[in-house]
Chains A and B, each alone.
Chain A
């Protein structure tokens, strides 16, 4: 079922949680709501579910406005961050709950309910655990029971609140792949909330990036990653190095660089900020090209080598990532002089830097000293 969210506003005792949110979700799509904590993504999910009601605006399920309807009448499959399994019921009873509470006229027979719940447990690969209690399950298993329970009511849309938030990294990766397969198999329109950009980019057909109650950008993984619409999006999806620069027509000159670089983006001439991902920052072997900097630290981080350096003129820290396997990787050491140039980058008007305060508690972001500029 397709969803449309039109001009939705929601505030909690004066604090705006959602500001004029517009969004269309196509039938069968897998969409991620991505943003830092306090960005309104969970509120949006709860508004979709009918667990919260918008102050105004429309929520259309297949063209029908349900904004005033409570959760019970929306037939949404909602999976809670902490699973919310009924701990006094067995796994099977949990999954069957949505069917057993139906009014007698619509309720399937006892045997049908058992069979249906059993099938769903097979679908989530927990067929053998039907008589266990939630406390006897691992986190990943609980998550799958919660999912089976939500699927039991044949929901019009599946909503997941931080589905992997409480799981460890390994389980999280497996479940992610599994959820993707399940989505392909079942075809439910699915919306999930996450603060993990990697999770969103890997899992979703489209990503909705939210900040301070607003939608910053909606797009496919490629679109948001390669063409971030705002400095916030760029910042949230990576750990940018921000360089002061001047733009003149199609030519950008970084402060401290001798030669301009061609760009496709169109901006009025004048000062701009150039955002570069650590992996897109090149160390150039040249006497004239690039910005001179001095290496402060070289760290091995999994498959990459992370080089922290300081720009000689301004003293600003920058971060460069090299693939660990590359031949040049062990060529660098602290106090070494280098010259850096971006391979690819985004240009934003000067001063459009994101508000850092919202990002501080987001995992996966580099420490503030690397990111911050005066």
Chain B
């Protein structure tokens, strides 16, 4: 069993002597310096985070609640919402499975090429989403490697839903795995070994022992993965073809509406996305508060 190491200084090491400096001696700056630094940080936060968020909602509601719901009831908007939900509903479960499998392999086993696999998992974070989208166009597009074969069998990947799903899966692949790997590595393999020694099968060990140990981190990873799956723009934009009512996801729809100077509708759809982000953050904060110990120490996103 691996105990969680608490890196906080709630219980600092005892000194053999009483320090002669006063309690808050870490802060030695003048009050005005402190106010200035704290103030500018808050100002920055307000200007770059809160203001845009407020702007999204005010712009969306500028022409009244009626227009707001009107623009959300628009068939194209509804299609975009449906497609976004569909994409997330496919991409998130897939990445849940891929992520758990990858983390399981990396954290619990020793094999050749492990370092390479770890690096590959980070690849979607490292490359620009536009490049990710282009990769799929190059493979599945009309002029791509698999293009002729797909055309022969009357399958369309690019400028269709499969392409959007593929691009989303690729871009959101690291979220679950990245969340689980450090935690599973820290937990070691002792619990699984104990389960196996007691006669459990590999699957029983995973289901009864590993999964309960990682469930909160897993949920957290899924939340982040979902947020990104719904919000992804770059990669999806390349493969989607922006066909209204067919291959437009919510972020793409926002852009189209905006380019058409239909600000109220653009912001209405954007407010849905922003609301989704807020819900995700609230859930995330709740999980962090409630299960801090079970989540990995390294949150990069």
Q: Which residues of B contact A97 (CB under 8 A)?
A: 195, 198, 200, 208
Whether A86 pairs with B208 at a CB distance below 8 angstroms is: yes
Q: How many A-B residue pairs have CB under 8 A?
A: 65
Q: Which of B95-151 contact A (CB under 8 A)?
A: none
Whether B1 pairs with A84 at a CB distance below 8 angstroms is: yes
What class of interface size applies to chain B in its complex with A?
Answer: 10 to 19
Q: Mark A297-323, 1 if CB is under 8 A from B, else 0.
A: 000000000000000000000000000
Q: Which residues of A contact B262 (CB under 8 A)?
A: none
The stretch of B42-50, B156-164, B186-194 in contact with A is: B186-194
Asked if B13 is at the interface of the complex by the 8 Å CB criterion, the answer is no
A72 to B202, CA, bound (A): 9
Q: Which of B171-199 contact A (CB under 8 A)?
A: 190-191, 193-199
Whether A72 pairs with B194 at a CB distance below 8 angstroms is: no
Q: Which residues of A contact B190 (CB under 8 A)?
A: 80, 82, 84
Asked if B31 is at the interface of the complex by the 8 Å CB criterion, the answer is no
Also in contact, A86 and B209, with CB within 8 A (given A72-B200, A98-B199, A149-B198): yes
Q: Which residues of A contact B191 (CB under 8 A)?
A: 84, 86
Q: Which residues of B contact A150 (CB under 8 A)?
A: 197-198
Asked if A85 is at the interface of the complex by the 8 Å CB criterion, the answer is yes
A85 to B197, CA, bound (A): 13
Also in contact, A101 and B204, with CB within 8 A (given A72-B199, A88-B212): yes
Asked if A87 is at the interface of the complex by the 8 Å CB criterion, the answer is yes
Whether A80 pairs with B193 at a CB distance below 8 angstroms is: yes
Asked if B201 is at the interface of the complex by the 8 Å CB criterion, the answer is yes
Asked if B280 is at the interface of the complex by the 8 Å CB criterion, the answer is no
Q: Mark B196-236, 1 if CB is under 8 A from A, else 0.
A: 11111100100011001100000000000000000000000
Candidate in B194, B198, B199, B201 with the most chain A CB atoms within 10 angstroms: B198
Looking across the interface, which residue of chain A has its beta carbon closest to that of B200? A101
Q: How far is the CB of B38 from chain A (nearest CB, A)?
A: 39
Whether B195 pairs with A70 at a CB distance below 8 angstroms is: no
Whether B208 pairs with A101 at a CB distance below 8 angstroms is: yes
Looking across the interface, which residue of chain B has its beta carbon closest to that of A80? B190
A280 to B197, CA, bound (A): 46
Asked if A18 is at the interface of the complex by the 8 Å CB criterion, the answer is no
Candidate in B191, B197, B204, B213 with the most chain A CB atoms within 10 angstroms: B197
Q: Which residues of B contact A86 (CB under 8 A)?
A: 191, 194-195, 208-209, 212
Asked if A75 is at the interface of the complex by the 8 Å CB criterion, the answer is yes
Q: Which of A42-88 contact B (CB under 8 A)?
A: 49-51, 70-72, 75-78, 80, 82-88
Looking across the interface, which residue of chain B has its beta carbon closest to that of A79? B194
Also in contact, A78 and B197, with CB within 8 A (given A87-B1, A88-B213): yes
Q: Which residues of B contact A177 (CB under 8 A)?
A: none
10 CB-based A-B contacts, threshold 8 Å: A51-B193, A71-B193, A80-B1, A80-B193, A80-B194, A82-B190, A84-B194, A87-B213, A98-B200, A101-B200
User: Given known contacts A82-B2, A86-B191, A98-B198, what 4 new A-B pairs fall within 8 Å (CB)?
Assistant: A51-B193, A84-B190, A86-B194, A150-B198
